[in-house]
Amino acid sequence: MERATEVATTVESSVESLVAVLDRARLAQHPAVPPAQLRVLTIVAGNRHTNMSRLAETLGVVPSSASRLCDRLEATGLLRRVADPRDRREVRLLLTPASRRVLADLRERRREALADVLDRMPPEAQQELVRALRAFETAATDFPGSQDGLRTA
Domains in the chain, number: 1
The answer to whether residue 68 is domain-embedded is yes
The answer to whether residue 120 is domain-embedded is yes
Q: Is 121:129 a contact under the CB 8 Å cutoff?
A: yes
The answer to whether residue 33 is domain-embedded is yes
**Domain at 21, CATH number:** 1.10.10.10
Give the residue numbers spanning the domain of 36.
14-141
The answer to whether residue 57 is domain-embedded is yes
pTM: 0.78
Tens place of pLDDT per residue across the chain (153 aa): 568 888 889 889 999 999 999 988 888 877 788 999 999 999 999 988 899 999 999 999 999 999 999 999 999 999 999 987 888 788 899 999 999 999 999 999 999 999 999 999 999 999 999 999 999 999 888 777 655 544 555
Alpha-carbon torsion (72, 73, 77, 83), positive or negative: negative
The answer to whether residue 41 is domain-embedded is yes
The answer to whether residue 4 is domain-embedded is no
Long-range contacts, stretch 68-71, CB < 8 angstroms, 24+ apart = 69/36, 69/37, 69/40, 70/40
The answer to whether residue 48 is domain-embedded is yes
Task: Report the alpha-carbon distance of residue 46 to residue 29 in Å, rounded.
Answer: 21
3-state secondary structure of 2: coil
The answer to whether residue 9 is domain-embedded is no
